[in-house]
Structure 1
């Protein structure tokens, strides 16, 4: 049901200098936005929450390549206020319906210079924060133009506690650092992250968004952006003395930031704020600031769980490549098989059989196509053609086999960073998928980007990722993108763009020092703020999968179950090997049962870096699922089940860490118990150090 209430208040006047300095205000609930012009005609804004300062007076504006300044000498032409309260339906998501309730203040500015530049600033004030964007109207003297710098500031009220990663142009795959803003130093973190393939941090005091903050007086803030289209990703420069943050756009190969054509609207800059951490996780501001779906019929878009030929290659059991190297050929020039190639027909059938037996909808196959012997590190443009399989991968036979078992094979298109090569072949690659019945693709961009000199998070690649989503939609293909810029809610506009990686996933436990126990308690407040993540949870063999001494997953087995609820994605991989699941089929039952699409979500408790507990209601059912995760500290959580339907009885199955479990000692021990519960019940969840709890609640 859609309900829209609009009220328009127009204020058209010529303002004196004194009037310009008086603030214009918009508010919603506890959040208030004030806008004013300084005596020099500089646009400024402030934000308050429940009467408390959140953002001190902060500048707005741009500098263009031709030195044109869009940050001062403005007068106010007019302003408009609009109130919106609507509800819209998601094709998939954490909730089925989203309320979009805000007050919008639009500011129309004109410079008192020659030429007289025009600039609009649009603020939307929600119960849980503020979003704002710039609009360059069509105007004389500004047609095609180049942005040199964005001057947006977020001046904070103190030395807030921050959970941050470096402002890297090419990766978001760092572990999070927790420090006051005054201690931010990106260079040592960058230099220590030798497990990341490509890194470029130009500013020592830069951090990536979403940036999670907590003030000394208990306010939680999150700064990010929404609807990133035709613009570079925004990072933040930290002033360690004044605690001001300023926008820093990712440059292109020649140092420019954005190439624009008026009229043009920038992405939204977002500030979430609450005195409750849980409110940050439940916010729908990012989604609401994106445009509605451009895909009219979304019936073909199907969230799913999947297994795949992937983890075995991460841990060295098999390889992506068919031969040991590109030079390992016989007298006729054909590659000599190494005997370790994972994406072979028989091995893929093994995964299809496991998926079919356990009601898993998909099987991902990486390393199926030629080129893996020479794919990484050479900055080579033409590596993969996305249609030619290795000799031991029978495309037609496997697709027939999977179809007969009711399983979808998920295509894998690794580009090795060569976006130009991929764009030339998009129609060919997706036509191949259509021919053989592949409904989804996982893309990858490991390596330095081609066009050479461009960055993963720059304007050219932002546009590339959108072009991929558009082309995939034309072919009715669902997409899971790896190594893109961090998401900004575009899953609303392109619901076939189901998930992204764009963060430090579970895979780092396979080939590096891994992810520390607090990692999964931070990610919901940072990386997942913008959209779903393909985190690849579900590793059951916590130790003993690697020959490297001490290498292990830094969680308990039960925490891996809980991640299916706390790390939201409509694509969830059961990432471990079938044989490891077969040793724990009673625990694997939770993975079989847990949905990937939801009607409702409740954030029951949360504190960044410490713990997260979330309850979700399965789409079209009366069944609820709870996931709880903790950091390196054990804890007991008492959960009130008052979200259940009153007067109904449910069976709760509680998957708990063993009494002597911890992430580094006995991580695979667990207990399972059943009990009858109602909306009046409370359950105690005992979480081991680095552990978790998972609960399925089904109506009787």
Structure 2
């Protein structure tokens, strides 16, 4: 279970941080709540309609924005409420996650306002609003209740809005094909005014509110409820309201039913992450904090780590015994704990005859598993989602995999986040946990922090990752340097880095084996910059053995005790320092314009350090595979110079080093 390493406290607060302004007739009731360090204030207004607004560092970032619901065969719930009760509490704990994605110890400190509302008219429907205000953001959720006689109530729309003043810059992933999506798209930089009523923008959505305020909208703890998207509308005062669009249930039209419920229904948390710089958003733990503690009684079997992957990405699948053993050997040589056996291991998939309990005839599964065990490697298995769900046989299959000693399952091609699919995810995650299986969802919706509650849900895709080099020209250095500030804010992403056939952007072409249009050092940096406790290496071992950078892949971990963003801007560059034990790892990624950074080293404790460095060679612009390796010493606090080529990168491993201080550089 998540170990509490500093005591949790929840208690009622006095009115110094939450206060009610009793209104004159015709004026609204207003409830104000501040963050623990008072840098954020939320105001909830109960008038003809109910709304909220947010002030960050004394400047309004969210103007008064609507709240409420539309329901099938019922009037909309959006105003005319009286407050039946209010409760103000504070909560403060430090907990230790099973899977250390960013930090070994996570602070969960917020002030909370709970309002129970009832309509004043004859319907008297109830609605609960809960706001949590952290020092790095705001989250709120609703709870709906059964109304009248038992039976399904049906949500057709959520009226939650996010109203911004002016025309801020935003980074938006737009899903033009609709809600049935693998959520693999670029986060394009555009003005909020470029969004429209018809836009279906995925989350997280990043926006630069002003020079000292950045906001990212996402959601947490999605359960028994559809995922949400954003459209936009311009208001009479030229402000822009981003409004909620929910994924409809299967076979429902876009304006049809989104969720059904009988008794109480808590929605996911609507999250507004806030920071003075975009890099600080990456450090935030708010999404995990909004999920419940670990529900697995003994999670000691859950182990993160790197994985080899049997050549689907860097060449065509060859599903036979020699190929699988080649990749087991690869994992063993590099010291990685896992090898992923991808599609076709059980023969034809997504067909009525597909059977996820029977290996293809050319494979000897006992021999594979015995060979892997001898090499101290454990295997994962790929599964097509429809095959998992066919005849509801996944419980039988998961029990079988557990008896085989399989470490985890990669399930693919769900491509939905409606209420039914969300519930299916939860069913699969819990069943997998019962059989000691890790889970990696591909063709998946964005993470929501469930890894805190079910740490066997170790990573997922929902990202336009490395495989797109195989069949498109869409993966650019600008895309790669945008992802840490956008998609990664939601949680771990299985980008599958590691391509060693590096070429310039002019040399790039679609072929097999797959080329990668950034430098070797940029490829190494992805293993530090991108977060995924189950990190899947995409490359064929023949392209890695003996090549520059292989020695880095043998050392880089996949979980972290601390994370500090040194500098960065979406679409331009990012530099992150992450600590594992006593060692720090620096990873920096660059866009298509060469640059030199001078980054602080204040994250280091006092003393001298040795740096093992992999940096772009001077002629990496011509031959991106070239790497310059060096070892230097550095005194803590001395700025570090990072030079990166066009589409380049940089990695370093920093370890304490005892030397004469006169020789520290």
TM-score using structure 2 length: 0.91
Query: Deviations along 1:520-564, whole A, 9 cap, x unmatched?
Result: 211112211111011111111124896649984232110110011
Of 403, 411, 429 in structure 2, the residue corresponding to residue 443 of structure 1 is 411
1:288 counterpart residue number: 289
SS of equivalent residue, structure 1 residue 463 = helix
Tell me if 1:582 matches 2:521: no
Q: Which runs of 5+ in 2 are unaligned?
A: 658-665
1:209 counterpart residue number: 203
1:686 counterpart residue number: 643
Determine the C-alpha separation between the residues in 1 that align with 2:228 and 2:583. Answer: 40
Q: Within 5 A, what are the aligned runs for 1:563-602?
A: 563-584=526-547, 586-602=548-564
Are the structure 2 counterparts of residues 502 and 534 from structure 1 closer, same or farther at C-alpha, using a change threshold of 3 Å? same
Q: Within 5 A, what are the aligned runs for 1:11-22?
A: 18=25, 21-22=28-29
Are the structure 2 counterparts of residues 479 and 513 from structure 1 closer, same or farther at C-alpha, using a change threshold of 3 Å? same
1:554 counterpart residue number: 517
SS of equivalent residue, structure 1 residue 438 = coil
Determine the C-alpha separation between the residues in 2 that align with 1:308 and 1:129. Answer: 38
Count of residue pairs brought into register by the alignment: 634
Determine the C-alpha separation between the residues in 2 that align with 1:418 and 1:579. Answer: 33
2:40 counterpart residue number: 31
Q: Is the 2:439–2:456 contact (alpha carbons within 8 Å) kept by the matching residues of 1?
A: yes
Query: Deviations along 1:551-603, whole A, 9 cap, x unmatched?
Result: 8423211011001111011011221111110141x411111101112111111
Of 234, 237, 248 in structure 2, the residue corresponding to residue 251 of structure 1 is 248
2:661 counterpart residue number: none
Q: Comparing 95-104 with 10-19, which one deviates more in the overlay?
A: 10-19
Determine the C-alpha separation between the residues in 2 that align with 1:688 and 1:659. Answer: 8
Of 220, 226, 234 in structure 2, the residue corresponding to residue 232 of structure 1 is 226
Runs (4+) off by over 6 Å:
10-17, 544-547
SS of equivalent residue, structure 1 residue 239 = strand
Q: Is the 1:65–1:148 contact (alpha carbons within 8 Å) kept by the matching residues of 2?
A: yes
Q: Is the 2:80–2:121 contact (alpha carbons within 8 Å) kept by the matching residues of 1?
A: yes
Q: Is the 2:347–2:359 contact (alpha carbons within 8 Å) kept by the matching residues of 1?
A: no
Determine the C-alpha separation between the residues in 1 that align with 2:455 and 2:559. Answer: 13
1:337 counterpart residue number: none
Determine the C-alpha separation between the residues in 1 that align with 2:601 and 2:308. Answer: 32
1:180 counterpart residue number: 191
Of 174, 179, 182 in structure 2, the residue corresponding to residue 171 of structure 1 is 182
Determine the C-alpha separation between the residues in 2 that align with 1:357 and 1:676. Answer: 29
Q: Is the 2:459–2:532 contact (alpha carbons within 8 Å) kept by the matching residues of 1?
A: yes
1:463 counterpart residue number: 423
Q: Is the 1:226–1:267 contact (alpha carbons within 8 Å) kept by the matching residues of 2?
A: yes
Deviation at 1:10, TM superposition (A): 8.0
SS of equivalent residue, structure 1 residue 462 = helix
1:513 counterpart residue number: 473
Deviation at 1:428, TM superposition (A): 2.0
Q: Within 5 A, what are the aligned runs for 1:139-154?
A: 140-141=148-149, 144-154=152-162
TM-score using structure 1 length: 0.87
Q: Within 5 A, what are the aligned runs for 1:41-52?
A: 42-52=49-59
2:339 counterpart residue number: 363
Are the structure 2 counterparts of residues 678 and 10 from structure 1 closer, same or farther at C-alpha, using a change threshold of 3 Å? closer
Deviation at 1:244, TM superposition (A): 0.8
Kindly report the root-mean-square deviation, in angstroms, between the aligned alpha carbons of the 2 structures: 2.3
Are the structure 2 counterparts of residues 7 and 288 from structure 1 closer, same or farther at C-alpha, using a change threshold of 3 Å? same
Determine the C-alpha separation between the residues in 2 that align with 1:596 and 1:493. Answer: 19
Q: Is the 2:500–2:516 contact (alpha carbons within 8 Å) kept by the matching residues of 1?
A: no
Of 4, 8, 11 in structure 2, the residue corresponding to residue 4 of structure 1 is 8
Query: Deviations along 1:456-500, whole A, 9 cap, x unmatched?
Result: 111111111111100000001001110121111111111000000
Query: Deviations along 1:34-84, whole A, 9 cap, x unmatched?
Result: 01112x2x1110000011011111110001112232112111222221111
Determine the C-alpha separation between the residues in 2 that align with 1:3 and 1:550. Answer: 53
Q: Is the 2:356–2:383 contact (alpha carbons within 8 Å) kept by the matching residues of 1?
A: yes
Of 121, 129, 135 in structure 2, the residue corresponding to residue 127 of structure 1 is 135
Q: Is the 1:129–1:271 contact (alpha carbons within 8 Å) kept by the matching residues of 2?
A: yes
Determine the C-alpha separation between the residues in 2 that align with 1:634 and 1:126. Answer: 37
Tell me if 1:650 matches 2:613: no
Deviation at 1:432, TM superposition (A): 2.0
Deviation at 1:137, TM superposition (A): 4.2
Q: Is the 2:354–2:387 contact (alpha carbons within 8 Å) kept by the matching residues of 1?
A: no
Are the structure 2 counterparts of residues 430 and 318 from structure 1 closer, same or farther at C-alpha, using a change threshold of 3 Å? same
Determine the C-alpha separation between the residues in 1 that align with 2:29 and 2:91. Answer: 25
Deviation at 1:101, TM superposition (A): 1.0
Are the structure 2 counterparts of residues 643 and 217 from structure 1 closer, same or farther at C-alpha, using a change threshold of 3 Å? closer
Q: Which runs of 5+ in 1 are unaligned?
A: 186-202, 320-341, 450-454
Query: Deviations along 1:283-316, whole A, 9 cap, x unmatched?
Result: 1111111111111211000001011213xx335x
Deviation at 1:630, TM superposition (A): 1.4
1:354 counterpart residue number: 330
Q: Within 5 A, what are the aligned runs for 1:18-97?
A: 18=25, 21-28=28-35, 29=37, 30-38=39-47, 40=48, 42-93=49-100, 94-97=102-105
Deviation at 1:678, TM superposition (A): 3.1
